[in-house]
Amino acid sequence: MRVLGIETSCDETSSSVVEGGRNILSDVIASQVDLHARFGGIVPEIASRKHVELVNVVIQEAVDKAGITLRNIDAIAVTNRPGLLGALLVGVSAAKAISAALGLRMVGVHHLEGHIYANFLANPDLQFPFICLIVSGGHTDLVLVRDHARYEILGRTRDDAAGEAFDKSARAMGLGYPGGPIVDKLAKDGNPEAVHFPRARLEGLDFSFSGIKTAVVRYFQEHENELPIEDLAASFQAAVVDMLVNTTMAAVERTGIRRVALGGGVAANSGLKRRMQEECDRLGIELTYPPPRLCTDNAAMIACAGYHRILRGDVSGLDLDTIASQPLTG
């Protein structure tokens, strides 16, 4: 089955053709990052307008690159929740139009389910159950994935998302947007022990990143340029990574599940991958994470998640709604 994926929930217009839920025939991503960078964050109205301009071009390119035509597509998977409403509407409207015109099955996919399924594209042999740490610009969730579409949220952030902490702290350090990749790059040449930033420890398996963001802002105001920016970036990143790895390992201990997966933009972080791999190796736990391009927003992960839904007969009608905010359930 060839599934056309469409993803427009935030600032990436993306479309992809995935065969059999694992074989990526094409994956086109048009990023709006440069457009939003000068505002230091995503401007929803600009994002929607850009999606309108790009969506048909990107879908056509995905189909062309796959070496097929729209008539060779078997089904459509589209992100319909959660995300910026105006942005989601563009992708969902395109999906409905193609579905209605060609009589194709269509399914709405939860964006976080897509981030989880990026792991099946990286490792098609991944077995259930596993614990998935989803760390993106809008979410930080520890999810127990029991089976296809069977999720249990073990913990989540009580304030900022991990990606938000990267972006806001980078802004405080006078770095560009989005901050995650910039901090990651600088941290490679810095001393992670130069400054000891606080690591929030909450009861249970929840996260909190607002404290570290405030600590970075305060430190930078008081000690601007005292330390190389690389040391500051490395120290900040080490603190965030510590919190993510420690809580994930606490979830492993609590559930007894010895398989861990990562997803979302922050899963592209080299410090996080290294520390998580070290801990998993030490404890004999299997770790899977997608390549960086499949960590950040992309339509291949949506096509993969949609494929498994459609296989189980889960199909949406033309009344498919868009939803701005909805936790992952199932």
Site for ligand KG4, rule CB under 6 A: 10, 136-138, 163, 166-167, 178-181, 184, 264-266, 268-269, 296-297
Segment interacting with Zn ion (CB under 5 A) among 13-21, 163-171, 231-239, 296-304: 296-304
- Residue 319, token pair as written in the block: 């009344």
Peptide bond into 192 cis (omega under 30): no
Q: Which CB sits closer to ligand KG4, 164 or 231?
A: 164
15 binds Zn ion (CB under 5 A): no
Minimum Å gap between C-beta 131 and Zn ion is 19
The residues near 118 (Cβ < 8 Å, ≥ 6 apart) are 263, 290, 294, 295, 298, 300, 301, 304
Minimum Å gap between C-beta 169 and ligand KG4 is 10
Minimum Å gap between C-beta 291 and ligand KG4 is 12
Ranges within 219-258 binding Zn ion (CB under 5 A):
none
235 binds, among Zn ion, ligand KG4, none (CB under 5 to 8 A by kind): none
Contact code string over 25-54 relative to Zn ion, x by CB under 5 A: ------------------------------
Q: Which H, E and C letters describe 221-276, residue by residue?
A: HHHCCCCCHHHHHHHHHHHHHHHHHHHHHHHHHHHCCCEEEEECHHHHCHHHHHHH
Minimum Å gap between C-beta 41 and Zn ion is 15
Angle (CA) 50 327 209, round 5°: 85
Helix and strand numbers (H, E) in the chain are 11, 10
Q: Which CB sits closer to Zn ion, 161 or 229?
A: 161
Minimum Å gap between C-beta 269 and ligand KG4 is 3
12 binds Zn ion (CB under 5 A): no
Residue among 140, 124, 129 nearest 285 (CA): 129
Q: Which strand (E) or helix (H) includes residue 142?
A: strand 140-147
- Specify the length of the chain in residues: 330
Chosen residue from 32, 99, 136, 248 binding Zn ion by CB under 5 A: 136
Minimum Å gap between C-beta 272 and ligand KG4 is 7
Minimum Å gap between C-beta 165 and ligand KG4 is 8
- Residue 302, token pair as written in the block: 């949506």
167 binds, among Zn ion, ligand KG4, none (CB under 5 to 8 A by kind): ligand KG4
Minimum Å gap between C-beta 88 and Zn ion is 12
Within 161-228, where are the H helices? Answer: 162-172, 179-187, 210-223
93 bridge partner residues: none
Residue among 275, 268, 281 nearest 242 (CA): 275
Which single residue is written with the structure tokens 């410090």? Answer: 271
Q: How many residues sit in the footprint of Zn ion (CB under 5 A)?
A: 2
- Residue 75, token pair as written in the block: 């089904």
Q: Of all residues in this chain, which one has the CB nearest to Zn ion in the complex?
A: 136
132 binds, among Zn ion, ligand KG4, none (CB under 5 to 8 A by kind): none
297 binds Zn ion (CB under 5 A): yes
With contact defined as beta carbons under 8 Å apart, do 227 and 173 qualify?
A: no
Q: Which CB sits closer to ligand KG4, 137 or 155?
A: 137
Q: Which CB sits closer to ligand KG4, 126 or 294?
A: 294
Q: What residues make contact with Zn ion under the rule CB under 5 A?
A: 136, 297
